Chain A
Amino acid sequence: MIIKAENIKKCYYTGKEAHLVIDDFSYTFEEGKIYLIKGLSGKGKTTLLSLLALLDDIDGGKIYYDNELISNANMDKKCVLRSKEIGIVFQDYGLLQELNVIENIILGDIITGNLSEVEALERSDQIINMLQISDKKNCYPNEMSGGQQQRVGIARAILKNPKIVFLDEPTSSLDGENTKIIVSFIEKYCHENKKLVIIATHLDSFDNIADDIIEL
């Protein structure tokens, strides 16, 4: 899947005052490649990622998914795309503390009906093996380290085998060992499966595997 951003703009308002966070951003993201959106804090990395992942509406410009204008689509259409084609990894992992690892991984796809429970459990077993957290499958998030939680977040994002994976600061709070595991997994996952991966980060951990770096 190809994402094409054309002159996109995003403003935030504090009272009546508008702050232009993304101004006239244009770019084409191609499948099978890893893109880094880099910049200092407050430069709009997460905002841009949210716009591209259809989590937020743009204030100007256009976003195409495979040449289909998607930025003007209604909420339902965007929701279907997020459910089927997009996987998102959050900076703070976005795990529900009351659910264990397996439940956190499968909940989205079970609830939306993307996968049957049996399929979801089968796939989640394979993925947690690859991510080296199979011994934690019955643990709750508060019983795991940040790196392990982030791997659960990644497992949840890729369970449905999405065409695009967005990662927001995936290694910002991880140590060197956990960062290495995640970087190598992302590289392998993207290139072996021809997926489009877009990462927003202020760190250099992904620089070596990125196909292109967009500086904001």
Chain B
Amino acid sequence: MPVKFKVFRSILFSKKGTLYVYIMVLAFFMTFINFKFIASFNSMQQSDIPDIVVKGKMDEDGELKYKYYNDMPDVSSQLRNQLNEDVKIYPVTARSMMTDRDPLTNATIEYTVYGVSNEFLDDVINKNIQNGNKIETGSHEILMGSYAKNFYELEIGDVVNHPVTLKKDWMEDDIGLYKLSGVLSNQLSYFKGGIFLSREKFEKDYGKINDNMIFIYLDDKESFEETLSLLQSLRMSNPSIGTISMNYYEKHGIMQNTILSCSFWGIMSLIVILLLVSYLMKGTSRKIGILKALGISNKIMVSVFNGGMMIVLVISMILALITTEILTLAYNHYLSGFYGFEVEEFMLNLYCVWVDLVFIIICFCALSIRIYKLTRKTSPKAAMQKIN
């Protein structure tokens, strides 16, 4: 080990163990920030959440029935007529299978049958198939979200022994009609309890059905506000419209939230790291005084500390990246077991390296200033203090 690093270690980390603890603490904070970032990054990937979801009114008793919501005939066509083509409107017929708790997050999961247009299947669903294939035109096939597939304990190609239909009430005949053709990726978390079938095919078999839900996708804030105000005015004249849920700001604010969240945890970690260094610096003035008495200038002293601190920070960063990689692999393995197919939901990516680099640069600068102040303030006469 080079003498300079030994001197650095001797001054700040006089007990060998404290250096290892410090590296572990740093690595822990960086791993934590990496996970925060990966989780936020995952949310950013989930761009297929509808910006606005319009649902038909619930029944007066408020009880969730198989038909889910009341019909909203003509609402989607009215929207289509009055909004520009950039706003994508997908009418949906949804039926409620059941509601359950997510075993991973304890959030509510709604297992829902969605009768969607082929256009919606092509634009949103088909590009998010993790396992299996898209629905073959004209066939009795369905796609399922990962939770639904897991809940109903199905494999690709299995016949669904549950009532899958878009009729307002299901009958015994509706069981075993459909086959599972594919499972959706977890990136499409909004639809993880979803069961998708082609509405066109269903209408061909059973006749026309009405929408009770509309998914709206748009690109900009102006379109969002325009659509929202049109929906509000439609709701005044059309009592069939129930709730209007907005995901636009949440969806487009993810990046901002990621930066805010990572910055918050970064600052908290930095404060803890600085407090630790301040604690470690207690009682170091005599040692610094001795080095100064030996003729080591402030500049050289700061460079010794900076060099040592950089080594510690880089080692911590490497450890944090390795820990993150191991933990993501373990978590993905656990998720794969849970879903029953290979999942790579949490991935260490290049952005994590950048986040860690920014973190260690900020730490380095803050520590460097702290060390500079200490060495400047310490007089070489401190070397003459007697140890009692």
Contact = CB atoms under 8 A, between A and B. Distances in A.
Question: What's the dominant secondary structure at chain A's contact region?
Answer: helix
Interface stretch (A1-9, A84-92, A130-138): A84-92
A112 B6 contact: no
B221 interface: no
Interface string B249-261: 0000000000000
A56 interface: yes
Given A91-B386, A107-B3, A111-B300, A86 B9 contact: no
Interface centre among B14, B298, B379, B383 (most CB of A within 10 A): B383
Interface stretch (A59-67, A95-103, A203-211): A95-103
Contacts, number: 96
B10 A99 contact: yes
Given A55-B381, A106-B3, A96 B300 contact: no
Interface string B151-182: 00000000000000000000000000000000
A114 B4 CA distance: 14
Interface stretch (A31-39, A75-83, A144-152, A184-192): A75-83
Contacts of B379: 55-56
A98 B287 CA distance: 12
B331 to A, nearest CB: 39
B348 interface: no
Interface in B283-336: 287, 290-298, 300, 304
B384 A103 contact: no
* Interface size class of chain A, counting residues whose CB lies under 8 Å from the partner chain: 35 or more
A103 B290 CA distance: 14
Nearest to A111: B296
A91 B304 CA distance: 26
B380 interface: yes
B248 to A, nearest CB: 59
A103 B3 contact: yes
B3 A84 contact: no
B384 A46 contact: yes
B23 to A, nearest CB: 16
7 A-B pairs with least C-beta separation = A83-B295, A108-B294, A98-B10, A82-B295, A56-B381, A94-B290, A96-B10
